[in-house]
């Protein structure tokens, strides 16, 4: 394995560069996935059948908490990558841990929000609107959940093996994923919640 | 009893029981054969765990050929049923299942893997790479495709086949009208195979963008590689749409959501839109690599470089963009209004322009060429006129006002078969014959090959031209029978003859494979066609590492210019080569996905949870695993290169 020391660790081998590009292309596919969900959401948003509309069920407080928590976590994963570039493993792992904790916090709020929706009669089977709403939110939430476990396994590897081209590459790719989830959330926040509450 | 009842076929008939027995016997024969010849270890080490793009390509090829016969059997049954009026060979339900599985199998499990086969085998060789960017992922892609295909195929004997057409329109495909598990199979098996395809798209985009030999700029890439690149870009943008649509369809059927239902706000047209936003680009995912093959074949056997290289590339880029803007031509008559119809009509017809550019480029290449008619070239030459018939009738269908006449008639069926058979199937057969010596080290017999090509071409005309006329007369598609008074009888009889001819042609190709395997000379050079691109610059059979020394490229037709202008392709000494290790994980993950899919189809939730955990366990295993591959030493390279040369005689 040839290592190019003039580049940051995550780009330092041929294989690593391939992986980063491959992941960007994967994110392109993810954009299409969420774009399709959004397009379907806009198509179905007013088709509430006998169920409630968005304005009737959305609540601003949990959504604001989710937003703040997730935005902060995107910031802390950035700090983790920064610490990684400086070669500070301890700081990196700490920021990584904070990121995952915030992610878990986000999930906790989101789950309680879902329970609440089901409770007030806006379950996934209620109408086309609730079906697409919960599917779109759920897809994002599932991504965060997956990210949580993925991040955890990367943390373990960094802790055990240190900062190698391999672990650095994984951490960096994870940070791309996490930022991406944040961007998707901003769309969800603006076009589903804010627009729905207006 | 209830347990068995769930897995029983809802509309059994003797043909289904016969296939059950046949499947059982085949499985027993394979298992017994492998055990008797002690081939389990070989199978596992050399094939099931391989990450070599060439072997993966060959596995795709075998699967595609098998599926061609499955889909072909369906086609023959349909044609036999329709051959005479008021026929009772099949009942309506059975006919529904057959046209559904025929369409799905042909498009997704025959044409797609055929493309993937050639792409996998050829692209890394053509760009002078050692493998694809992510060899393991490539193996996983194959196994996901394969398990998806197998899951779809067992629907026939376990639980019942889908019967709502390959487009699976809702509400027909919803629980109310499709009560058997057939449509669950459709949704889930295509989902599994589709995920594999998406990963192939990412893998090959990365490979082509990053792993080209030094000197091969984008505008020096061979045409097949260009077509593969563009097809993969389309895959990355189109397949996620299908993923979402299939997930929604699955949820409607299994979890009672209301995406496509007719009550509680559901919208069946949303399915039609999502399906075709994927479905139309899918057509170009198939046809562009086929065009790539024709470009290689035509320039090789016209002994001339391709006319209008740049316009070939530009036309493919334009086609890929337009392909996303025409989807609604599939439902002109479903009430979307005149403005929408006009817009989609115009974008549809616009695609004819870049396609025409390509046809003229091929004609100009032929014009001044020294044409040598080999089997691949024969397919290419037959393709041009036949495909033009399909293309012109496509423009007719693209006129939305006129489509009210043709819609859902046999005219449409004739059109897309005249596009897809000369376009895709001929190209794949041409590619198969062309690359056969590189894959297996001997040529297919030219005499038998040409005879098969002629039979297939004539039979295509016989099978599908009559449908244009009966379609214009009003014969609807997907109708299992018609009355004597309609006068469709004779047309359909001719079509049956054509279909039998096609079957004969395909059987002849299989015979050719058998015949050539036995009798063809093994003493062929590594470049038997006197070709022009890099894949012919390495040994036959190709060593695991493809090229002992990475080639240096100075022109579009690297090998040709090395032969004629004395460009030096291989400079420098041997160095040790890094190669990935084989791995059983992709195969095991594929098997778990199969179980997952099966459990989903029958809503066996504990098993779904268990296999989901299994899938994630495989991913975690991969994440923690330390596998840095292995090196092939200089001595080993020298040995391999030495024996290869000896094996092939002086060359
Ligand atoms: C080998 C010769 C073939 C014959 C004789 C044949 C025959 C037929 C017939 C009769 C139908 C109409 C069913 C109906 O609407 O009632 C049909 C539909 C179809 N065929 Fe083929 N076919 C052949 C090859 C292919 C190939 C190679 C492909 C694709 C690569 C293909 C793709 C389809 C599709 C997508 C449909 C539409 C199914 C539907 O209506 O839902 N066929 N074929
Ligand atoms: Cu189309």
Contact status of B604 with chain A (Cβ, < 8 Å) = no
Q: Cite the DSSP H helix spans in A45-127.
A: 54-57, 60-85, 89-119
| CA dist., res. A110 & res. A121, Å (int) | 17
What value does the mean pLDDT take over residues B43-52?
93
Query: Do residue B139 and residue B245 come from a single domain?
Result: yes
| CA dist., res. B407 & res. B399, Å (int) | 11
Ligand number, closest to the Cα atom of B497: 1
Query: Do residue B327 and residue B254 come from a single domain?
Result: no
B257 contacts on A by Cβ (under 8 Å): 124-125, 131, 135
Q: What tokens does B45 get?
A: 């080490």
Q: Over the stretch B348-397, which tens digit does the pLDDT of each residue have?
A: 999 999 999 999 999 999 998 899 999 999 999 999 999 999 999 999 99
Give backbone dihedrals phi and psi of B516, rounded to 5 degrees, phi first. -70, -35
Query: Do residue B268 and residue B155 come from a single domain?
Result: yes
Residue B625: inside a domain: no
Identify the closest residue of chain B to A123 by CA–CA distance. B257
Give residue B281 CA to ligand 2 midpoint distance, Å: 8
Query: Do residue B160 and residue B194 come from a single domain?
Result: yes
Give residue B309 CA to ligand 2 midpoint distance, Å: 27
Q: What tokens does B13 get?
A: 């008939």
| pLDDT beyond 90 at B648 | no
Residue pair B125/B546 in contact (Cβ under 8 Å)? The answer is: yes
B623 contacts on A by Cβ (under 8 Å): 150, 153-154, 157, 170
| pLDDT beyond 70 at B644 | no
Cβ of B503 below 6 Å from ligand 1: no
Residue B535: inside a domain: no
Give residue B283 CA to ligand 2 midpoint distance, Å: 7
Residue pair B504/B451 in contact (Cβ under 8 Å)? The answer is: no
Give backbone dihedrals phi and psi of B523, rounded to 5 degrees, phi first. -95, 70
Residue B101: inside a domain: yes
CB-based contact A47 B265, cutoff 8 Å = yes
Query: Do residue B223 and residue B319 come from a single domain?
Result: no
Query: Do residue B232 and residue B266 come from a single domain?
Result: yes
Q: Name which of A1, A25, A127 is nearest B236 (Cβ-Cβ).
A: A25
Q: Name which of B133, B265, B623 is nearest A22 (Cβ-Cβ).
A: B133
Q: Ligand 1, closest atom to CA B78?
A: 10
| pLDDT beyond 60 at B647 | no
A22 contacts on B by Cβ (under 8 Å): 133-134, 202-203, 206
| CA dist., res. B598 & res. B157, Å (int) | 13
Ligand number, closest to the Cα atom of B326: 2
CB atoms within 10 A of CB B323: 23
Q: Over the stretch B484-494, which tens digit does the pLDDT of each residue have?
A: 999 999 999 99
Which of B101, B103, B109, B424 most suits a substitution to test ligand 1, by most atoms within 8 Å of the C-beta? B103
Give residue B393 CA to ligand 2 midpoint distance, Å: 13
Which of B417, B459, B503 most suits a substitution to test ligand 1, by most atoms within 8 Å of the C-beta? B417
Q: What tokens does A60 get?
A: 């601003």
Tell me: cis bond preceding B171? Omega within 30 of 0 counts.
yes
Query: Do residue B384 and residue B412 come from a single domain?
Result: yes
CB-based contact A126 B616, cutoff 8 Å = no
A25 contacts on B by Cβ (under 8 Å): 201-202, 205-206, 236
Residue B76: inside a domain: yes
Does ipTM top 0.85? yes
Q: What's chain A's length in residues?
A: 198
Q: Ligand 1, closest atom to CA B68?
A: 27
Contact status of B255 with chain A (Cβ, < 8 Å) = yes
Cβ of B502 below 6 Å from ligand 1: yes
Identify the closest residue of chain B to A35 by CA–CA distance. B241
Structure-token match 């084989």, residue found: B582
Give residue B194 CA to ligand 1 midpoint distance, Å: 21
Q: What tokens does B512 get?
A: 């050719």
What value does the mean pLDDT take over residues B39-53?
92
Structure-token match 């700490």, residue found: A94
What value does the mean pLDDT take over residues B44-56?
94
Query: Do residue B358 and residue B410 come from a single domain?
Result: no
Q: How far apart are the first and last CA of chain B?
A: 68
The CA distances from residue A69 to A148, A184, A190, in Å, are 14, 14, 16
b/e burial code for range B433-465 (CB count within 10 A of at least 16 → b): bbbbbbbbbbbbbeebbbbbbebbbebbbbbbb
What value does the mean pLDDT take over residues A10-23?
92
| pLDDT beyond 90 at A81 | yes
Residue pair B150/B190 in contact (Cβ under 8 Å)? The answer is: no
> Mind telling me how many Å the CA of A86 is from chain B's nearest CA?
24
The pLDDT assigned to B645 comes to: 59
The pLDDT assigned to B54 comes to: 96
Residue B223: inside a domain: yes
Tell me: cis bond preceding B207? Omega within 30 of 0 counts.
no
Q: Over the stretch B587-611, which tens digit does the pLDDT of each residue have?
A: 999 999 999 999 999 999 999 999 9
Residue B582: inside a domain: no
The pLDDT assigned to B48 comes to: 94
Query: Do residue B56 and residue B141 come from a single domain?
Result: yes
What SS3 state is found at A125?
A: coil
Between A4 and A66, whose confidence is greater? Answer: A66
> Mind telling me how many Å the CA of B326 is from chain A's nearest CA?
17
Give residue B97 CA to ligand 1 midpoint distance, Å: 13
CB atoms within 10 A of CB B27: 10
| CA dist., res. B475 & res. B488, Å (int) | 7
Give the list of residues 6+ apart from residue B460 with CB closer than 8 angstroms, or none.
B386, B417, B418, B421, B422, B498, B502
> Mind telling me how many Å the CA of B279 is from chain A's nearest CA?
14
Q: Cite the DSSP H helix spans in B170-265.
A: 182-210, 223-255
Contact status of B210 with chain A (Cβ, < 8 Å) = yes
Q: Name which of A25, A47, A135 is nearest B202 (Cβ-Cβ).
A: A25
The pLDDT assigned to B13 comes to: 81
**Which domain CATH number covers B80?**
1.20.210.10
| pLDDT beyond 90 at B12 | no
- Confidence tier at A1 by pLDDT (50, 70, 90): low
The pLDDT assigned to B608 comes to: 96
Query: Do residue B387 and residue B279 come from a single domain?
Result: no
A19 contacts on B by Cβ (under 8 Å): 134
| pLDDT beyond 60 at A181 | yes
| pLDDT beyond 50 at B519 | yes
What value does the mean pLDDT take over residues B625-649?
78
Q: What tokens does B289 get?
A: 């690599």
CB-based contact B237 A127, cutoff 8 Å = no
The pLDDT assigned to B650 comes to: 38
Q: In terms of DSSP bridges, do strands B577-579 and B630-632 run parallel, antiparallel, or are they unpaired?
A: antiparallel
The mean pLDDT of chain B is: 93
Cβ of B425 below 6 Å from ligand 1: yes
Residue pair B505/B421 in contact (Cβ under 8 Å)? The answer is: no
> pTM here?
0.94
CB-based contact B210 A51, cutoff 8 Å = no
Query: Do residue B142 and residue B255 come from a single domain?
Result: yes
Contact status of A116 with chain B (Cβ, < 8 Å) = no
| pLDDT beyond 60 at B303 | yes
- Confidence tier at B39 by pLDDT (50, 70, 90): confident
Q: Residue with the nearest Cα to atom 43 of ligand 1?
A: B75
Of B508, B537, B557, the position where a domain reaches its end is: B508
Q: Name which of A21, A124, A128 is nearest B267 (Cβ-Cβ).
A: A128
Of B344, B369, B394, the position where a domain reaches its end is: B369
B205 contacts on A by Cβ (under 8 Å): 25
Contact status of A128 with chain B (Cβ, < 8 Å) = yes
Q: What tokens does B230 get?
A: 């563009």
Tell me: cis bond preceding A108? Omega within 30 of 0 counts.
no
Query: Do residue B364 and residue B387 come from a single domain?
Result: no
Percent of chain A with pLDDT over 90: 89
Closest CA to A40 of B258, B343, B196, B236: B258
Residue B478: inside a domain: yes
The pLDDT assigned to B14 comes to: 83
Q: What tokens does A73 get?
A: 């976590």
Contact status of A32 with chain B (Cβ, < 8 Å) = yes
Percent of chain B with pLDDT over 90: 79
Residue B42: inside a domain: no
Question: The domain containing residue B390 runs over which residues?
Answer: 373-435+448-508
The pLDDT assigned to A134 comes to: 97
Number of domains in chain B: 3
Give residue B102 CA to ligand 1 midpoint distance, Å: 6
Give the list of residues 6+ apart from residue B166 with CB closer than 8 angstroms, or none.
B99, B100, B102, B103, B104, B107
Give backbone dihedrals phi and psi of B373, rounded to 5 degrees, phi first. -90, 95
Give residue B479 CA to ligand 2 midpoint distance, Å: 22
Contact status of B214 with chain A (Cβ, < 8 Å) = no
- Confidence tier at B110 by pLDDT (50, 70, 90): very high
Identify the closest residue of chain A to B232 by CA–CA distance. A25
The mean pLDDT of chain A is: 94
Contact status of B51 with chain A (Cβ, < 8 Å) = no
Which of B75, B90, B167 most suits a substitution to test ligand 1, by most atoms within 8 Å of the C-beta? B75
| CA dist., res. B94 & res. B581, Å (int) | 47
Q: Cite the DSSP H helix spans in B473-584.
A: 489-519, 558-564
Topology (CATH) of A9-47+59-197: 1.20.120
Cβ of B108 below 6 Å from ligand 1: no
What value does the mean pLDDT take over residues B101-130?
96
Of B256, B271, B302, the position where a domain reaches its end is: B302
What SS3 state is found at B409?
A: strand
Which of B76, B79, B96, B99 most suits a substitution to test ligand 1, by most atoms within 8 Å of the C-beta? B99
Q: Over the stretch B290-299, which tens digit does the pLDDT of each residue have?
A: 999 999 999 9
Q: What tokens does B513 get?
A: 């494979």
Contact status of B127 with chain A (Cβ, < 8 Å) = no
Cβ of B79 below 6 Å from ligand 1: yes
Domain ranges in chain A are 9-47+59-197
- Confidence tier at B334 by pLDDT (50, 70, 90): confident
């Amino acid at each position: 394995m040839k290592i190019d020391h003039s580049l940051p660790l995550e780009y330092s081998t041929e294989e690593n560069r391939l992986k980063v590009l491959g992941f960007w292309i994967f994110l392109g596919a993810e954009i299409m996935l969420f774009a399709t969900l959004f397009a379907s959401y806009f198509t179905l948003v007013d088709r509430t059948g006998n169920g409630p509309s968005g304005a009737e069920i959305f609540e601003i407080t949990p959504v604001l908490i989710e937003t703040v928590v997730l935005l902060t976590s995107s910031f802390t994963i950035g700090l983790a990558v920064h610490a990684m570039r400086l070669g500070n493993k301890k700081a990196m792992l700490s920021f990584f841990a904070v990121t995952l904790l915030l992610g878990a916090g986000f999930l906790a709020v989101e789950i309680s929000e879902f329970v609440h929706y089901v409770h007030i009669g806006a379950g996934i089977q209620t109408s086309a609107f609730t079906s697409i709403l919960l599917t779109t939110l759920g897809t994002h939430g599932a991504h965060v959940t997956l990210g949580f476990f993925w991040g955890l396994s990367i943390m373990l590897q960094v802790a055990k093996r240190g900062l190698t081209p391999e672990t650095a590459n994984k951490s960096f790719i994870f940070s791309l994923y996490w930022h991406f989830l944040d961007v998707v959330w901003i769309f969800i926040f603006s076009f589903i919640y804010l627009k729905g509450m207006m | 009893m209830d347990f068995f009842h769930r897995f029983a076929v809802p509309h059994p008939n003797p043909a289904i029981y016969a296939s059950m027995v046949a499947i059982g016997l085949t499985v027993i024969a394979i298992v017994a054969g492998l055990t008797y010849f002690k081939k389990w270890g070989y199978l596992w080490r050399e094939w099931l765990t391989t990450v070599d793009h060439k072997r993966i390509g060959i596995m795709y090829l075998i699967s595609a050929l098998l599926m061609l016969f499955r889909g072909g059997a369906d086609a023959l049954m349909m044609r036999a049923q329709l051959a005479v009026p008021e026929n009772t060979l099949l009942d309506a339900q059975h006919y529904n299942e057959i046209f559904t599985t025929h369409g799905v199998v042909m498009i997704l499990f025959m044409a797609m893997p055929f493309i993937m086969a050639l792409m996998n085998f050829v692209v890394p060789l053509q760009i002078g790479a050692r493998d694809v960017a992510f060899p393991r992922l490539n193996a996983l892609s194959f196994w996901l495709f394969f398990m998806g295909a197998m899951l779809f195929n067992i629907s026939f004997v376990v639980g019942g086949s889908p019967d709502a057409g390959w487009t699976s329109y809702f509400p027909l495909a919803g629980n109310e009208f499709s009560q058997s598990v057939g449509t669950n199979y459709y949704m889930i098996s295509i989902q599994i195979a589709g995920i594999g395809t998406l990963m192939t798209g990412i893998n090959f985009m990365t490979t082509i963008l990053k792993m080209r030999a030094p000197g091969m700029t984008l505008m020096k890439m061979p045409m097949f590689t260009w077509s593969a690149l563009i097809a993969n870009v389309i895959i990355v943008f189109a397949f996620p749409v299908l993923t979402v649509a299939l997930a929604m369809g699955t949820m409607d059927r299994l979890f009672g959501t209301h995406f496509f239902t007719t009550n509680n706000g559901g919208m069946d047209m949303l399915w039609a839109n999502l399906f075709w936003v994927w479905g139309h680009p899918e057509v170009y995912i198939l046809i562009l690599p086929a065009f790539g093959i024709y470009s290689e074949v035509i320039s090789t056997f016209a002994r001339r470089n391709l006319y209008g290289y740049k316009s070939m590339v530009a036309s493919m880029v334009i086609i890929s963009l337009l392909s996303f803007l025409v989807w609604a031509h599939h439902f002109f008559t479903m009430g979307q209004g005149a403005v929408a119809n006009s817009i989609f009509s115009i974008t549809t017809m616009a695609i004819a322009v870049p396609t025409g550019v390509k046809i003229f480029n091929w004609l100009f290449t032929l014009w001044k060429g020294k044409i040598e008619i080999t089997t691949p070239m024969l397919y290419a030459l037959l393709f041009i006129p036949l495909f033009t018939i399909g293309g012109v009738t496509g423009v007719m269908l693209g006129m939305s006002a006129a489509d009210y006449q043709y819609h859902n008639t046999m005219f449409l069926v004739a059109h897309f078969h005249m596009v897809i058979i000369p376009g895709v199937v001929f190209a794949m057969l041409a590619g198969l014959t062309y690359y056969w010596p590189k894959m297996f080290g001997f040529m297919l017999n030219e005499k038998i090959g040409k005879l098969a090509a002629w039979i297939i071409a004539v039979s295509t005309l016989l099978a599908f031209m009559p449908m244009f006329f009966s379609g214009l007369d009003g014969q609807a598609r997907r109708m299992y029978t018609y009355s004597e008074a309609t006068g469709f009888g004779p047309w359909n009889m001719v079509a049956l003859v054509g279909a039998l001819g096609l079957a004969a042609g395909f059987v002849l190709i299989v015979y050719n494979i058998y015949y050539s395997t036995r009798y063809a000379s093994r003493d062929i050079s590594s470049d038997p066609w006197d070709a022009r691109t890099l894949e012919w610059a390495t040994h036959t059979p190709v060593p695991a590492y493809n090229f002992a020394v990475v080639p240096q490229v100075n022109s579009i037709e690297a090998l040709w210019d090395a032969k004629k202008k004395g460009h030096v392709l291989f400079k420098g000494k041997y160095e040790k080569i890094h190669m990935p290790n084989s791995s059983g994980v992709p195969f095991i993950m594929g098997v778990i996905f199969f179980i997952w899919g099966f459990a989903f189809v029958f809503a066996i939730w504990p098993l779904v949870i268990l296999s989901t955990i299994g899938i994630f366990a495989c991913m975690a295993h991969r994440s923690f695993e330390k596998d840095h591959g292995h090196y092939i030493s200089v001595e080993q390279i020298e040995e391999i290169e030495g024996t290869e040369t000896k094996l092939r005689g002086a060359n």
